[in-house]
A and B are shown apart, each in its own frame.
Chain A
Amino acid sequence: MADGAAVWRPVARCVVFCSPCMKGCSRGRYPYGLCSMADLSLRNIKKIYDKNVTAVHEFNLEIADKEFIVLVGPSGCGKSTTLRMIAGLEDISEGDLLIGGKRVNDVEPKDRDIAMVFQSYALYPHMTVYENMAFSLKLRHVSKDEIDKKVRDAAAILGITEYLERKPKALSGGQRQRVAIGRAIVREPQVFLMDEPLSNLDAKLRNQMRAEIIKLRQRIDTTFIYVTHDQTEAMTLGDRIVIMRDGYIMQIGTPQEVFDRPANIFVAGFIGSPQMNLFNARLEKIGEGYQVSCAGATIALSDRIQARLTEKQVGERDIILGVRPEHVLLKSEKSSYTISATVDVSEMMGSEVYLHVTAAGKDAVLRIPTTELTEEQRGGFSYGTEIHFTFRSDLLHLFDPQTEKSLLL
């Protein structure tokens, strides 16, 4: 990797089988030889409803022990279905799900050593917070003293000790979500599944809970699989992100990888806020090198991009040029290297200004630090103001208009 980006590799499996019985294993709670590190393998997983609607296609993913994986994508992309298949709440139509090296397709949810936090909290309304958290342990015939200790420990971690005797209806949304997380923690599961746990909270509480989940992850050493449609949550929480659309995996990578090197136009648009600007452009060859022509402007490409295109032997062709709003450079004068645009809306955010412009016949957003603005520009851009800009040549993204895939990967 020319830019030195780390490549993720699953850690080596470390499975300790304790079959045929549970004797001798340190955790000693579960059959199927799952008393091991919780690495997961999803191999060619498919979900087909009513014999013709495919919700998830050929899902392949290796999840390492103690990894935090985020499944992200728009509504209907199959992320929750995938999570529910891991939980055992949905049957797997095709493929294999392995936890700790053992195939668990037909294993009941309770025997998978997983815990799940639901979007709607799914607390038992007639039980107190304490009873909610203790329920699963009671079912496993854990002694009363141990239940009490585990519940109080989890409550202390989540700061809900004072609410233990309350019923869920007497709690706020944030407190309920903590109880739901607490209910999962007491189980000490190998795999923690979270299905959009913050979606029902308001923006402020969501930010707060997000930070708490990060802290929680540091405290409890286990594998997390987290589903969200919010790319900010995905970027901040995940060790790796799985971006999905229409039941297909669009890209798997670390947050930085998917941000810096989106595999296709969908990922480019989905990750990053405001989203990446996409322009119709043409890739041209000049001698051994390349340049891009877009809306009459000639745009130089960095050595890294040139080398990649040469390596892939890409010829002259139409392309989609992707530029993140923050990778735009405002210029005072029009030149053969700049694109001209008219300002529609200007949003002053304090440290930066968002310019919503029309450029090359398309709507685009430019994010300019206020330090780069003149005194006059800091006063605001009026509607219809003509501006000129170019791009940072090392941070451009080139996509194939037909396949929508990146030409640089």
Chain B
Amino acid sequence: MGKKKITPYAVISMILLVLVALVFIFPFYRIMTGAFNDPTNVWKAELFPSKLTMQNFVRLFKQPAWKWLYNSVFIALVSMILVCGTASLAGYALAKKRFFGQKIVFTLFICAMALPKQVVLVPLVRIMSTFGIYDNVWAVILPTVGWPFGVFLMKQFSETIPTEMLEAARIDGAGELRTFWSVVFPVVKPGVGALSIFTFINTWNDYFLQLVMLTSTENLTIALGIARLQSADVIEYGPLIAGAALAAIPIVTIFICFQKYFTQGITMGAVKG
């Protein structure tokens, strides 16, 4: 009992999956091995580095790479917290509260999801300049707050909360914020988990906005910093690939730790709970 029969279909599927996984893993593997390889051998077609060295990192940290990394982490973490806070509150309100203009507000959020980022970039730069935060990490953080996709995701999660549960909390004596914090938030936590990862990855990878908003060397993110290394006449691939490895580590760690929430967020609504 319990012994699975191995079918040819299962074998072929497994081989295909392994091949696809290798294809996806290979670039990451090349970055990691390249980062620790001798600077002159970075692009040599060798599967295993002949000599492991920290030279690439040493050269990278001649630049303010720690500051870039700090900026990237700060932007991603603060955006994540603010997006999760605002999106879960807004999603809950749109799903469970009745107010004038509710449908219009939600439609606007959906429309905003369809809007390319480039369209709003010029007004965004002007707004940030007006606020005096252009070339500041907050110029990258603030535009992500109220991320329409986050609001949409949290609205869908909040729809699953039984209205009677909220009414029970109301009768028990919980006010709006207490109801949200003690009753709603724990129930939508898987959604918040998924959204945290989405936001972190999205912000980390949002090269375009960072490129437009940040200019001073010390305000750059790790992605911008690496790009800046290429701008000289001679491209130093060693520090470049070390920077890429450095930039990949937090995102890969986060993904591995919260994979469950990530897939939950993607598949949400696909299967009736």
Q: Is A27 an interface residue (CB 8 A)?
A: no
Q: Which residues of A contact B170 (CB under 8 A)?
A: 89, 108-110
Contact of A114 among B164, B165, B171, B182 (CB under 8 A): B171
A118 and B187 contact, CB distance less than 8 A: no
Least CB distance, A197 to chain B, in whole angstroms = 12
Q: Which residues of B contact A125 (CB under 8 A)?
A: 187
Q: Is A120 an interface residue (CB 8 A)?
A: yes
Complex Cα distance, B171 from A140, in Å, reads 12
Q: Which residues of A contact B173 (CB under 8 A)?
A: 110, 136, 139-140
B165 and A109 contact, CB distance less than 8 A: no
Minimum CB distance partner of A139 in chain B:
B173
Least CB distance, A151 to chain B, in whole angstroms = 14
Within 8 A of A (CB), among B140-177: 162, 164-165, 167-174
B172 and A136 contact, CB distance less than 8 A: yes
Least CB distance, A101 to chain B, in whole angstroms = 22
Q: Which residues of B contact A88 (CB under 8 A)?
A: 171
Within 8 A of B (CB), among A140-195: 140, 183, 187
Least CB distance, B174 to chain A, in whole angstroms = 6
Complex Cα distance, B174 from A135, in Å, reads 9
Least CB distance, B180 to chain A, in whole angstroms = 13
A115 and B171 contact, CB distance less than 8 A: yes
Within 8 A of B (CB), among A52-108: 87-89, 108
Least CB distance, B192 to chain A, in whole angstroms = 13
Residue in A116, A122, A123, A125 whose Cβ sees the most chain B Cβ within 10 Å: A122
- What class of interface size applies to chain B in its complex with A? 10 to 19
Q: Which residues of B contact A115 (CB under 8 A)?
A: 171
B168 and A116 contact, CB distance less than 8 A: yes
Least CB distance, A194 to chain B, in whole angstroms = 12
Q: Is B183 an interface residue (CB 8 A)?
A: yes
Contact of A87 among B162, B171, B189 (CB under 8 A): B171
Complex Cα distance, B173 from A136, in Å, reads 6
A122 and B182 contact, CB distance less than 8 A: no
Number of A-B contacts (CB under 8 A): 58
Complex Cα distance, B171 from A108, in Å, reads 8
Q: Which residues of B contact A136 (CB under 8 A)?
A: 171-173
Q: Is A124 an interface residue (CB 8 A)?
A: yes
Least CB distance, A84 to chain B, in whole angstroms = 8
Q: Is B178 an interface residue (CB 8 A)?
A: yes
Contact of B168 among A108, A122, A139, A140 (CB under 8 A): A122
Least CB distance, B183 to chain A, in whole angstroms = 6
B187 and A122 contact, CB distance less than 8 A: no
Contact of B167 among A122, A135, A187 (CB under 8 A): A122
Q: Which residues of A contact B167 (CB under 8 A)?
A: 87, 89, 109, 116, 118, 122
Least CB distance, B166 to chain A, in whole angstroms = 9
Q: Is A126 an interface residue (CB 8 A)?
A: yes
A110 and B187 contact, CB distance less than 8 A: no
Complex Cα distance, B172 from A88, in Å, reads 12
How many residues on the A side are at the interface (Cβ–Cβ under 8 A)?
23
Q: Which residues of B contact A135 (CB under 8 A)?
A: 169, 172, 174, 182
Least CB distance, B179 to chain A, in whole angstroms = 10
Least CB distance, B134 to chain A, in whole angstroms = 43
A110 and B162 contact, CB distance less than 8 A: no
A118 and B186 contact, CB distance less than 8 A: no
CB within 8 Å for A110 and B164 given contacts A124-B183, A139-B178 = no
Q: Which residues of A contact B164 (CB under 8 A)?
A: 118-120, 122
A109 and B187 contact, CB distance less than 8 A: no
Least CB distance, B40 to chain A, in whole angstroms = 57
Complex Cα distance, B170 from A109, in Å, reads 7
Minimum CB distance partner of A117 in chain B:
B168
Complex Cα distance, B164 from A87, in Å, reads 12
Q: Which residues of A contact B174 (CB under 8 A)?
A: 110, 135, 139
A118 and B172 contact, CB distance less than 8 A: no
Least CB distance, B244 to chain A, in whole angstroms = 41
CB within 8 Å for A110 and B172 given contacts A120-B162, A122-B162, A135-B182 = yes
Complex Cα distance, B189 from A140, in Å, reads 26
B171 and A116 contact, CB distance less than 8 A: yes
Within 8 A of A (CB), among B67-100: none
Q: Which residues of A contact B171 (CB under 8 A)?
A: 87-89, 109-110, 114-116, 136
Least CB distance, B70 to chain A, in whole angstroms = 35
Complex Cα distance, B172 from A136, in Å, reads 5
Least CB distance, B99 to chain A, in whole angstroms = 15
Q: Which residues of A contact B172 (CB under 8 A)?
A: 110, 135-136, 139, 183, 187
Complex Cα distance, B174 from A124, in Å, reads 13
A126 and B168 contact, CB distance less than 8 A: no
Least CB distance, A112 to chain B, in whole angstroms = 8
Complex Cα distance, B195 from A136, in Å, reads 31
Q: Which residues of B contact A124 (CB under 8 A)?
A: 165, 168-169, 182-183, 186
Q: Which residues of B contact A116 (CB under 8 A)?
A: 167-168, 171
Q: Which residues of A contact B162 (CB under 8 A)?
A: 120, 122
Q: Which residues of A contact B178 (CB under 8 A)?
A: 139
Complex Cα distance, B162 from A287, in Å, reads 66
Complex Cα distance, B55 from A346, in Å, reads 96
Minimum CB distance partner of B168 in chain A:
A122
1/0 contact string of B4-24 vs chain A (CB within 8 Å): 000000000000000000000
CB within 8 Å for A122 and B186 given contacts A110-B172, A139-B178 = no
Q: Which residues of B contact A139 (CB under 8 A)?
A: 172-174, 178
1/0 contact string of B173-208 vs chain A (CB within 8 Å): 110001000110011010000000000000000000
Which are the 10 A-B pairs with shortest beta-carbon distances? A136-B172, A110-B173, A126-B186, A122-B164, A122-B168, A139-B173, A118-B164, A109-B171, A122-B165, A116-B171
- Which B positions have Cβ atoms within 8 angstroms of A? 162, 164-165, 167-174, 178, 182-183, 186-187, 189
- Which A positions have Cβ atoms within 8 angstroms of B? 87-89, 108-110, 114-116, 118-120, 122-126, 135-136, 139-140, 183, 187
A-B residue pairs in contact (CB < 8 Å), sample of 9: A89-B167, A116-B167, A122-B167, A123-B168, A124-B165, A124-B169, A126-B189, A139-B178, A183-B172
Given contacts A122-B164, A139-B172, 9 further A-B contacts (CB under 8 A): A89-B171, A108-B170, A109-B170, A115-B171, A120-B164, A122-B168, A126-B186, A139-B178, A140-B173
